[in-house]
Homo-oligomer: A and B are copies of this chain.
C-alpha cells in the first residue's frame, strides 16, 4: 500500500488538490499513515499519466491557483484491486521506546522528563480523537479512530503503571519475571 494508492483512495472520498490530499492524510489517515508533499505530488503526477485521475487547473481569488484531481472510473477499479491485496504487516518506528531500551545509560530525571512529555502528548491525542468521535462518522472511520484511541489509552495506562521500571535508581538490578504484564494487574514488578 504505497502513497500513490492511498492518494487514489482519498480521491474516492472527494476531489482534492495536492494540498488538500496532504490535509486528508492528516485528518483521515493519521495516526496510522502519513505522507509528505515530496511523495504526494509525484504520486498525483503518476496517477494522472496512468489515467487513474484527471487534473483540472482552478483559479482562485485571494488564494494561489490550485490543481484539482478527480478519480476516473479506471481509477476506482484500480483502487478496488489494490484494496483486495493482502495487507503488508504494520511498521512502527518509535524513538521514545528505542531510547527507553537504553534507559540504564540515562539519568532518572531525564527519563522522567521524557515520560512526562510522552504522557502529555498521548493524552492530548486521545482527547482530540474523543472529540472527533462525538460526531457522526462513516463506519470505517469510526472503527480506525476508535482503534487509535484504544491504543493511546493502553499506552498511557502502561506507561503510568510501569514507569518505575526505568525511573528507579537501582537500574543495575535485572528484573526477573513479574506479575505477567497487562493480563493481570497491568504492573510489571521488579524484585
> Does A183 reach chain B (CB closer than 8 Å)?
yes
Q: Is the CB of B175 within 8 A of A142?
A: yes
A165 at the interface (CB under 8 A from B): yes
Given contacts A96-B87, A138-B175, are A181 and B105 in contact (CB under 8 A)? no
A38 to B134, CA, bound (A): 45
Whether the pair B80, A105 counts as a contact (CB closer than 8 A) is: yes
| Residue among B9, B80, B87, B100 making CB contact with A114, cutoff 8 Å | B87
Query: Shortest distance in angstroms between A190's beta carbon and chain B's nearest beta carbon?
Result: 7
Which residues in B have their C-beta under 8 angstroms from that of A12?
A: 102, 105
**Using a CB–CB distance below 8 Å, which chain A residues touch chain B?**
1, 6, 9, 12, 28-29, 31-34, 79-80, 83-84, 87-106, 110, 114, 121, 129-130, 133-144, 146-147, 149-151, 153-155, 157-159, 162, 165-166, 168, 171, 173-178, 180-183, 186, 188, 190
